[in-house]
Structures are given as C-alpha cells and as structure tokens.
Amino acid sequence: MRVAFPSQMAIEHFDEGVYASNIWFGAEAGYQYPMQRLYAPPLLPSLIEWSLIFDRMGEPASHKISSFVPLVPSLFAGCLALLVIWRMTREWFGTEAGLATLAIASLSDFHALYSRTALTEALMLLLFVAAVWMMQRAFSSASYTALGLAGLLTGLCWWTKYNGWLPLAVGFGGLAIGFVVDARCRNQFVKLTLFWLGTAALAFAVWSSYLRELQSLGGYGPIATNHSKYLVGFVGWADSLSQQYANLSHFDGWATCVSIGSASVLVGFSSPTHQRQSIKLMTLAIAFSAASVWLGAALVMFLLAIWSIAPELYRRYSIAEAEGRRDRLALYFLAAWLGGLFIATPLYHPYPRLTLPWLCAAWIGTGIATSRLVEIIRNQDGVQRLTKPWWVILLIGTVALLIGLPRLADRGMPALQARTGWLPVSQQIVAEVGKRAEATRGNRDEAIVIVYGEPGLFYQLNVDGTQVFGPA
C-alpha cells in the first residue's frame, strides 16, 4: 500500500512544498524556504534535500527530478515503522499480539496515506515509537544503552516535529500509572524517576542544538506564538474530538475496515484449528469488519484497546503481584499513550494527521485484544456445538457487512488516492510563461514568476520549468 503506484504520488500539500523546497534556495535565504521554522524543525526537510541531491548526482543538467524522490524519506520511515511497531508489541505483549498489531497497522489507509507524503508524520511516528520502546526497555532492565538510545531518538523526534517531546510525556504518564497501581513500581520510585530524568536530559541536549540555532532568528517565541493560534483548549475539546472522529472515519477504506478481522484470522490460523474454531474466527472477522464499516475502525479499535488494558490495570491494582512481568511497565506506558493522547490531541485544531500517534496506540491495544479473543476461542471445548449467540453474531454481522458493501466500494482505498493535482497546473503555467517570454523577449527562459501562497505549486514549477520562480 505504501509504495504502490508511485506515479500517483507528488508534492501537493502546502507543508510538503515548504519542506521539499530547500534545494531551490541559496545562502541569502539560509538554504531553506522562507520561515520554514514556523512549520517544522529541519530534520525532514534536510532528508528530503539530500534525497534530491542524490537523485541529481551524476545526471546532466537537463535531468528532471522524479515526483517520487522527495517522498523517499517518508516512505522509508513508514515501512520501517511497521517493523518497529511489530517488534515492540511482540516484546511487550507476546508473539500473537505483535502479529495482530502488524496486520492492523499494515492495512491502515491512514498511515499508508501519510507515508506517501513529504509530511513529517511518518518519520515522527517511527522515532516516537522507537523512543518509547527504548525508554520502556531502559526502565525495565536498567540498561544505559537503551537509555541513551531513548534520549537520542526522542531528540530526533523533537527535530522532526515541535511536539517531538511526546515520548517523554508517555514515559512520565506510564510511570505515574505504575506508581498508582503497582507496589513494585513504587518501590523503585527513585530509580525510575532518575532514569526518566536522564532520558529527558539527553533528549533536550539533542534538541538544544537546534534551539541555539533559533536564537539568531528570534528564538522559539515566534514559533510558540504561531502554534498557540491553533490551540482550542478544553472549550473546543468536544468539537475537536468529534471532528477528529469524522476525519478518521473518512479515511476508512476497505483495507482499514477489514484489518481487525484480518488480524483475527491471521492469528487464529497461525496454529492448527478445528472446524468450530474456524467458524468462530470467521465470525469474529465478519463482526469486526461490519462494526468498522458502520461505527468507524478507530472507534472499534479504541473500545477493544480499552477492553484489553483497563481490566488488567484494575487487576494489578487490586492484587499485588510479587513476580516480575515482561509487560509490567509496557502496559502502563500503553495506557498513558492511549489515554493521554485521547485527552491531549483534541486540545489542538483538528488536523487529521495529529491523530497518528494516538492511532498507533489503538493498533497495539487492538492487537492485544485480538490475540486474547483468539486464545479464548482456542481454550473452549472443541467438541461442543456452536452456541446460539455465535450464530446470532454471525448472522447479524454478515447482513450488516453485506449492506455496508456499497459504502466500502465508494470509499475504495484512500491511501492510494492520486496526489498529483499541481502537476498539470505547473506544466500549463511553464508552457504559457515560456510562450509569452519567447514572444516578448525572444527567449523562453527570460521570465520571473512569483508564486503566492502555494509552496506545493512553487516546488512543481521549479521542477518543471527553467525560468526563475520565487515565493511571495
């Protein structure tokens, strides 16, 4: 899904044009699009710039940059993120939970779509997940290597987006939950707190080099002021949450809607099953797919994630456990991740892409729930007949899914939507400008074109044309 139909991918979004246009500016502009710092830190724009440089190395001056090239960093990050999410979930909650989460994440139209853009989301998610993983490993095993990696990855995440400090918030929230529900965490309060502070110090050290660079440009104040315009606070929280729910539902293609069911089948049939178990697994798959079509996959995942996390938190709070568990801190981190971002994300203007870190936590929680449901089915007596509730669920789920098929057909696969809107426009402008310049100046390259308010168009014009193009 992420690398299919590369001809359908190109720079189109406003922010993509800002991030991808470094290469068109010299020393007088600081080698970057004007005021780029207001949109994002420089890590992704720099990676895109180097992708463009490598594409042009050894090529003649007439070489035209492929529309695919500036998207390579995000595509690579999006594909690598799937592996990191899988390995982390497998380490935290077991092989089958990891496999289910991988299936759900792989089929996510939302993640695939943003992996096919030159936006910061795919790279940020990769670094965010890796940082949280290393932080949990450092805290659980007292590993200084993992601590160093957690600090470095968090710092790089901060270099990608201005909310790149979120791994620290997840770690802090996870420890807070652990101190409340788990006596063993309370007994290690000093050690765990020091490890968190060490991670934060390393992350800030990595971030501070960019912060120092900002001082010559007015500091971080103008950036914070710009971001504050998009805060809606608790007054607008409910409206923002409602809009984000609509946003996520809008991107529910057929791949997303069948993802939970596919994960159930994949995990269930990964070991030998008898006929009745197979029918139950298919019933689960149909029911989850139908629910995703009618309720939205994000809501179904959120409910499943709560079902997999909340009872276990209560059990640990109620019953003190003496033995260690590999997922002890992992569960607290995931609870803070899912719950914290559910509260925090709607405090901001409801841009769809802001939900991606929260959605990742929902994938993991759903992967855990799926593996547990499959385990319940396996543990049931294989000789007994299917009970009436299973037949009712199968019937209702099948009917609901069949009725919802036209809706699925209309949605298609949002991840593969064409993002080439500026390509024909820029080609027409280049042709028209060249024609007018040749008619008036005798040379089609003797023209200066100023582009106002559309960095995506500015980028495409510089790729397509030989005239001088500048932003206004």
Residues 283 and 360 in one domain: yes
Match 């600090």 to its residue by tokens. 151
pLDDT given for residue 322 in this prediction: 45
DSSP state of 323: S
Instruction: Give the three-class secondary structure for 449.
Output: strand
Q: Residue 95 domain-assigned?
A: no
Joined together, the tokens standing for residue 367 give 């992967």
Residues 343 and 462 in one domain: no
CB 443 within 8 A of CB 461: no
Q: Residue 227 domain-assigned?
A: yes
CB within 8 A of 420, min separation 6: which ones? 7, 8, 9, 10, 12, 67
Q: How many CB atoms lie within 10 A of CB 246?
A: 12
Q: Residue 9 domain-assigned?
A: no
Residues 315 and 445 in one domain: no
pLDDT given for residue 28 in this prediction: 82
Q: Exposed/middle/buried for 409, CB within 10 Å: 0-12, 13-18, 19+?
A: exposed
Joined together, the tokens standing for residue 464 give 């397509």
Residues 411 and 431 in one domain: no
Match 């050290």 to its residue by tokens. 205
CB within 8 A of 66, min separation 6: which ones? 55
pLDDT given for residue 447 in this prediction: 86
Structurally, the chain folds into a number of domains equal to 2
CB 255 within 8 A of CB 264: no
| Of 396, 416, 436, the domain-final residue | 416
Residues 250 and 324 in one domain: yes
Residues 384 and 467 in one domain: no
Q: Residue 70 domain-assigned?
A: no
Walking along the chain (472 residues) 10 residues at a time, the average pLDDT comes out as 91 94 87 91 96 85 83 97 98 96 98 97 99 97 95 98 97 96 90 97 96 90 92 97 97 95 93 81 94 96 97 86 63 98 98 97 98 89 66 88 86 90 91 90 87 92 81 80
Residues 249 and 190 in one domain: yes
Residues 461 and 345 in one domain: no
Residues 210 and 309 in one domain: yes
Q: Residue 90 domain-assigned?
A: no
Provide φ and ψ at 101, rounded to 5°.
-65, -40
Domain span holding position 462: 424-472
Q: Residue 442 domain-assigned?
A: yes
Residues 261 and 284 in one domain: yes
Q: Residue 58 domain-assigned?
A: no
Q: Residue 106 domain-assigned?
A: no
Residues 232 and 329 in one domain: yes
Q: Exposed/middle/buried for 449, CB within 10 Å: 0-12, 13-18, 19+?
A: middle
Beta bridge partners of 18: none
Residues 264 and 140 in one domain: yes
